[in-house]
Structure 1
């Protein structure tokens, strides 16, 4: 009875609830569950919305979980960037798996002052995601970018830890100007890629045609690289650690003469110079009959001494991101240490990034970015200079210490040169390098703040942005008591110190109006203005006579204790720019797109009346795939879009005062009275002013096709472009009284090219994924006109200082590309058949009639058998300046990269290749290390210059000099079975000059395995037990092999590209280049 009563009461209460409860309570359903991606990883920050009620929404937490009370529907819509939207029935225990959206056509792509959907792009743009960069563990982001973008040529000039990186987008168009692209980091123009840690990068976008770059006007001529650092994200605070340890070793060594070959070579060199030189040789190495003893002596490996040890580098990055619904933050700190191959040579960096987003209210948002970096480079690298330890010394360093390594010599019986040679032989290159101390420090701070306001007018938004950047650069050089510099000032240490400070400010404001009309028309209009200003100052001082007991650090801490030699300083003229810009994007029927871009810049780089430049561009695209008549192809064709663009951009990258007369201080002394002198200074003009200077103007034309198949499983694009640059800012020599140079707008160039990019998601299964990518770029440039009607201009690389027979070893001429090497063509070497006789009295060899002669080679002893033979191109019987011609082209025929990536269960892999084909390298190392004369008293040489391989003037059995034509023919030209494969040392006795010939030009085509990474992610169901959301370990090999015929350390080199007075005109030189390393990296990625 009691049970019956209780059941009746429950039924009554339940009935009352249904009668009295509000309808919305009765209809409520709770959707609760977890969202995963295709790899079964939780999706953080996915949006869950009640279907039909967009205001009723939530986001998934750090574990991918969500809970949402539904009111009007029993379904939820789940979205996340890069994944397909999913509608699911609500329940209290949902497991939702979002599929990857391979189409990616709706992804936003960052462009100048905005972003557009990828499908709506009308210009030539390529983007690399930060997650792809992270797959290659490097401290310099350019290393991860190499080979990933068609038409973007990235060359690391050498292997030093702080090596310069040259970036060229579609070749560049300037002659004596700077062809580097504009770098824009989080909207701030003029940054450096080396300022950023790769871990802090969200994505990198390269704008290549004027439709994309014209919004940057005068600075968009050479392309634009837009870098977006990782954005702030809300939710539970997430802590991530990315770090690695890296061991490096030199990737390649040069073969040099062994000990016996070395002493035989230098014996010949001494014998040819005469009795005095031969006696000095005997004191150092012994008499000829004893030289065979060196066959059993191991050669000194100076390459091992200078860069033979394995080095250890490391990188550590810690980031925190999270926040509330209104305030989100991202804080990151990075420490990188990159050890160089040479002793006392390294690069370190501290970098900090803070990004903050705050919603002041629903219509007003504030965002800010602050970056701090501190970089220090220690050691010489390739910035050695004439008297410092340079890498080629590891090749021509003595192979043996000779008798000095066995006995203590009698210095009283030795000349100063012999004593210096003995000291040099007994001091290692590593010890010498410690005497040349160098430190470069760069510090910088960047702040950028912005307000975004959604105005009351529907579709109208306002963006206000301001920023400040500060940069400090300091270079210190100290020369110890054993250096050549110290020997000039009494053997006391000396030092020099330079500092540069730069301050820049920027303000930008723009309005954007976005509206749709009748679902047919879509209009987006943006207009804005920008003001930028920068100022820099420079100071330099030098002092000598420091105490030998002082270390380098103590010298710079007590610089005043030295004897001051120079002290200079200046404040550069302000560089100011005012800009107005706008862009119109119009879309009809979501398939016909038009973009019009305009910018007007006013620059302080030019004089009155020439300060303003207007840069317009237009582009159109047609989404063919969205035409109704293409619907039948959608089962296999997912994207087909045609693009065309035309526009003009500018370049003002010259000094800020070239339009006004320049003067420099010329110091000297004057005598006043008897025996008294006083300093005197006068202003001397150096460059003729040109008040008519104006902008370089570059016109770009681009035709592109984007395509995709099988829902973007296969995708890509092909672009054809034609660029022309007019009114080039070119500096050239003039013959005006008191002036040497002038800047003028008086040249033009053009370049054409084709680019192809392919991407494929080959296999996309749950436990196995395989992706592939490929890109290739062809670029051909030529000069259309030069200053004052000139047909050609020549330039000096300067690698050989003053002893180059042809100082102007590069040429720019109409109809040809920039980067051509200028010199003589070689024709093997002179043989005895080229000579009529030998005079035993004078030691002269007489050429036969009809055999071309030359005064360029032979030195003080004249042309003889074995001497390099040059081609007489004009057939006048004499090889001279009239026979100079183009001997090499440093431009590649094509270049690019390809790679593969994928996942197998919990393992992942990534492999990247890069390649260049058809470019030459001006191998100055080959010249330097094949000469006995240029590298000191007893230099070593490359192995191919051994007496058994090269033309020789010594009887190897007796040590007697070979003089007659008959003897030389017997021992070198097949008489005894030897046929010399290499000429006699190309720089003869008494002549150290350089003769640039095609013998020194080498094909630098290569295929490089840039990186190979294998990683393993521990399953999350294991790591979460320890409070770790994700734990991945990986190993990476970098520069694992290079397939090339180039005989130098590495075919990708340009050691004098920035040292020349004309940085863009002398590329592709390899002289004392820092060898590149092969690296193995072991790293961890941890998310808490």
Structure 2
């Protein structure tokens, strides 16, 4: 101990801003190669005991990290330079990485410090509002549903509407198997020139996820991150209370029941992450376990999940050989509950009791009207999902200029879901004598890729060339069974053999289906060249030739080129006050494959009729080819005065050859239908990001950042020149369609008559829009020139905003993140059905009560009255944290506690519960019917349906501990 003491020395000093001379409180000072460190006090001063010959590593957000040798000095002052070197950061791109300065495409890199905080259970929500052009919306926040993701709008009307996910180099990896706690950084490849290297799966953009790794500094570190979160409903649907309902003519059943309160709860979630990592110069490792017990605000909704992840990196042969191994396993047990309980809680009579006096659930026998508490209590809807993936990547440097990389990985997903509806449940179960549904599926994905990279410098020219091969294979199988008529509820779905439907002779009551995919393979050859001249002129080009078994035999191969050029203008112009000025131009082509297999082949159907019959139901198309997207992106990166940095991108993308099923002449194609390439979209947009590096207000430092994006999509070609879609549904509005699409016009048009007033009989009065002296509002003439219909709004926002505010004060950190969308409209379907007070129907359903209601209106008919502007600005995420000074502790390396609020407040005039855009429509589900979520309509945005989950406000308290 005496020897160790003799080798130590005390060093102190002050950390300041190199440009202003101001003190920097909260700067980190660490003895290099150790966990020994401290932070500066309010005046920027520090004191630390270090070993003789130590080197200090000094860092602070927004400043370039410095390493300073202590030598024999007892006082070491350090001036930090503002970090305006973003363009020289290393950024992960397809099959490798580049200096950001050399990138000619539109790429956004986010580190862990920039992610959204709080009760985040879906990895995509880490990015919500952080990337210009990336839209992430989880309407209502159902813990068992995934967010809707769009990058630069609609990229297809078929499958693959969401970006391709690449995790640690594995193409198509599932984010369901990546815990948010394990993600170190995310890079988003937004334009075609960046995504083209991924070919047929990159049409909707690419999100590259890099998970955390061990450190080479030596030793082992243990980290714990945990939090508890409490969520409650942010907004209920505005309905009449019992007294108001009775006064409006409603039937008084003698009780006072808040049905929305009865089916919701304060949801408490617990999340714990433990990670062990470490290593030395040759080998690093990291092991983590993540435990999530998550409750939703809807009773009985939520999940329990365990995720484990392991990574190992080893260098050998004088660091010429690098081996990476990654493995992750996730087991999730979900209770999906029933979103329909929320819907019927809005509609149900507020004077109805929950139960009759005999204990049985109260139930009025009415169309589309079920006791919401009974829905949850009498029925079950659960599932299990297991994800396993691994990959091994090996890189060998043959020479200093030439290296070879190979990557092999597999991913397995198994799903087992089950539903049971009680014999006593009027919701789905009663009329079937009990109803059981079981579904299971297995998916296996295999990836093998290898590529070589050659890098060489020639005086003022640097050359980097890569070429490789990719093999991908998908295998899928599933089975679904639905049976009813059970003798007892005791075993339910676990005793399908007892279902009376097996012997009833009613074939329609027995629903059995199964499928298995054919050989789904993608084989590709790719190459890329990057050239840098004079460290200021950059050229990037790539080419991928790819074949897929999903396409027609005559068109299985496609070619996807990309080209990009960039110029560091400041290198030549030397403008005063300008740190960075770079111009980028990129062009790229990507493709999109169909989701299902076999669309290019004949499809036959088997029927039991007539002793068994086989019929052709769809003709083959040997010419079926890729959907294809070509995109031009113009961008400029800038930095001003050592403080302000930003990027502006303007783009045009054209999507052609949608893969759509369409009617064809029966004299050529006997079935009358086949899949063909038809249709085109064009999207034009602009994106801007601005970041200001540290505004000093006394001892407080504020670092703001803003991202803005806007786009418009036009339907250039389609199989139908003009049509209405998105049916409103029952009760009473079947055949009423709310969305219009037309060739040559923008996507997202909400279409209908314009409300003008109330007739004497309580019916709505509509405007004579064409001035012909008569009002024609019949849905059958919605597209007729004589009809009085017009665009009532658009479901796609004109502008999306993310505004980050990072504030530091001593050891405190505060982050307030605002998010907004402007210019979009929503159809408030609750109002469209249940706001007019019909004396004949008031006994059936409760009524929506808003300031938009019109006195005297008794008839519900869709019109402009129910289309609302849904502009909003919300304090989406606010965090307050405190980092303890642990320099004097021999056991604790770091300790931080924090409190977080999600959905703190929303500023909006929308009368529904959530004004966020709805970018796709799942259609209507009426009278307890099952909702099909497998094929959403991306051409019908802006419909706020009655089956949405309720939005929550969440309070989180957490701790991060390093040992």
Q: TM-score, structure 1 length as denominator? A: 0.77
- 3-state SS of the aligned residue for 2:729? coil
1:534 alignment partner in structure 2: 474
Q: Contact conserved, 2:652 with 2:685, CA < 8 A, in 1?
A: yes
Task: From 555, 565, 569, give the equivalent of 1:624.
Answer: 569
Task: From 820, 823, 842, give the equivalent of 1:915.
Answer: 820
1:646 alignment partner in structure 2: 587
1:12 alignment partner in structure 2: none
- 3-state SS of the aligned residue for 1:913? strand
Give deviations 1:504-525, integer Å, cap 9, x for gaps.
110000111111112x111111
Task: From 396, 417, 420, give the equivalent of 1:453.
Answer: 396
Distance, in Å, in 2 between the alignment partners of 1:616 and 1:927 is 49
Alpha-carbon RMSD across the aligned residues, in angstroms, is 3.4
Distance, in Å, in 1 between the alignment partners of 2:286 and 2:448 is 24
Give the CA deviation at 1:320. Answer: 0.9
Q: Contact conserved, 1:495 with 1:543, CA < 8 A, in 2?
A: yes
Matching of residues 994-1009 of structure 1 within 5 Å? 995-1009=861-875
Is 1:515 aligned to residue 456 of structure 2? yes
Give the CA deviation at 1:69. Answer: 10
Task: From 734, 739, 745, give the equivalent of 1:810.
Answer: 739
Is 1:925 aligned to residue 830 of structure 2? yes
Matching of residues 559-598 of structure 1 within 5 Å? 559-563=496-500, 564=502, 565-598=510-543
Task: From 699, 708, 720, give the equivalent of 1:776.
Answer: 708
Q: Contact conserved, 1:733 with 1:742, CA < 8 A, in 2?
A: yes
Is 1:339 aligned to residue 295 of structure 2? yes
Give the CA deviation at 1:498. Answer: 0.7
Give the CA deviation at 1:444. Answer: 0.6
- 3-state SS of the aligned residue for 2:906? strand
Is 1:697 aligned to residue 697 of structure 2? no
Q: Contact conserved, 1:33 with 1:96, CA < 8 A, in 2?
A: no
1:867 alignment partner in structure 2: 763
Distance, in Å, in 1 between the alignment partners of 2:475 and 2:114 is 37
Is 1:658 aligned to residue 606 of structure 2? no
1:748 alignment partner in structure 2: 680
Give the CA deviation at 1:805. Answer: 4.2
- Alpha carbons of 1:194 and 1:932: their partners in 2 closer, same or farther (altered >3 Å)? farther
Is 1:166 aligned to residue 148 of structure 2? yes
Is 1:141 aligned to residue 123 of structure 2? yes
Distance, in Å, in 1 between the alignment partners of 2:273 and 2:194 is 33
1:348 alignment partner in structure 2: 304
Q: Contact conserved, 1:31 with 1:91, CA < 8 A, in 2?
A: no
Matching of residues 6-21 of structure 1 within 5 Å? none
2:21 alignment partner in structure 1: none
Give the CA deviation at 1:377. Answer: 2.3
Is 1:1087 aligned to residue 959 of structure 2? no
Is 1:1048 aligned to residue 912 of structure 2? yes
- 3-state SS of the aligned residue for 1:199? helix
Task: From 82, 96, 103, give the equivalent of 2:84.
Answer: 103
Give the CA deviation at 1:67. Answer: 9.4
1:903 alignment partner in structure 2: 808
Task: From 857, 864, 868, give the equivalent of 1:984.
Answer: 857
Matching of residues 302-701 of structure 1 within 5 Å? 302-307=259-264, 309-362=265-318, 363-382=320-339, 389-401=340-352, 420-421=363-364, 429-455=372-398, 457-484=399-426, 489=431, 492-518=433-459, 520-550=460-490, 554-563=491-500, 564=502, 565-627=510-572, 629-630=573-574, 633=576, 636-668=577-609, 680-701=611-632
Q: Contact conserved, 1:35 with 1:42, CA < 8 A, in 2?
A: no
2:18 alignment partner in structure 1: none
Q: Contact conserved, 1:917 with 1:1005, CA < 8 A, in 2?
A: yes
Q: Contact conserved, 2:649 with 2:686, CA < 8 A, in 1?
A: yes
Give the CA deviation at 1:897. Answer: 0.8
Give the CA deviation at 1:925. Answer: 1.8
1:940 alignment partner in structure 2: 846
Distance, in Å, in 2 between the alignment partners of 1:32 and 1:1081 is 42
- 3-state SS of the aligned residue for 2:393? strand
Give the CA deviation at 1:625. Answer: 1.7
Give the CA deviation at 1:407. Answer: 8.4
Give deviations 1:212-246, integer Å, cap 9, x for gaps.
11111111111111111112223211111111111
Gaps of 5+ in 1: 1-29, 47-58, 268-280, 286-296, 383-388, 412-417, 671-679, 832-864, 951-980, 988-994
- Alpha carbons of 1:87 and 1:765: their partners in 2 closer, same or farther (altered >3 Å)? farther
Give deviations 1:545-575, integer Å, cap 9, x for gaps.
335451xxx4344443434534332212221
Give the CA deviation at 1:97. Answer: 5.6
Task: From 690, 693, 708, give the equivalent of 2:639.
Answer: 708
Q: Which has the larger radius of gyration?
A: 1
Distance, in Å, in 2 between the alignment partners of 1:655 and 1:229 is 30
Q: Contact conserved, 2:117 with 2:900, CA < 8 A, in 1?
A: no
- 3-state SS of the aligned residue for 1:467? strand
Give the CA deviation at 1:255. Answer: 2.7
- 3-state SS of the aligned residue for 1:1020? coil
- 3-state SS of the aligned residue for 1:1028? coil
1:732 alignment partner in structure 2: 662
Distance, in Å, in 2 between the alignment partners of 1:89 and 1:159 is 52
Give deviations 1:864-919, integer Å, cap 9, x for gaps.
x2111234445355433322443331011111210201210011101101110011
Give the CA deviation at 1:802. Answer: 9.1
Is 1:228 aligned to residue 210 of structure 2? yes
Distance, in Å, in 2 between the alignment partners of 1:688 and 1:39 is 71
**What count of residue pairs does the alignment treat as equivalent?**
903
Give the CA deviation at 1:258. Answer: 2.9
- 3-state SS of the aligned residue for 1:392? helix
- Alpha carbons of 1:1010 and 1:238: their partners in 2 closer, same or farther (altered >3 Å)? same
Gaps of 5+ in 2: 1-6, 16-23, 39-47, 503-509, 782-786, 923-932
Give the CA deviation at 1:167. Answer: 1.0
Q: Contact conserved, 1:919 with 1:1005, CA < 8 A, in 2?
A: yes
Give the CA deviation at 1:648. Answer: 1.4
Matching of residues 78-93 of structure 1 within 5 Å? 83-86=64-67, 88=69, 90-91=71-72
- Alpha carbons of 1:825 and 1:193: their partners in 2 closer, same or farther (altered >3 Å)? farther
Q: Contact conserved, 2:30 with 2:57, CA < 8 A, in 1?
A: no
2:938 alignment partner in structure 1: 1064
- Alpha carbons of 1:445 and 1:1087: their partners in 2 closer, same or farther (altered >3 Å)? same
1:761 alignment partner in structure 2: 693
Give deviations 1:180-199, integer Å, cap 9, x for gaps.
11111111122333432221
Q: Contact conserved, 2:30 with 2:58, CA < 8 A, in 1?
A: no
Distance, in Å, in 1 between the alignment partners of 2:103 and 2:527 is 17
Distance, in Å, in 2 between the alignment partners of 1:536 and 1:176 is 19
Distance, in Å, in 2 between the alignment partners of 1:252 and 1:783 is 36
Distance, in Å, in 1 between the alignment partners of 2:757 and 2:110 is 48
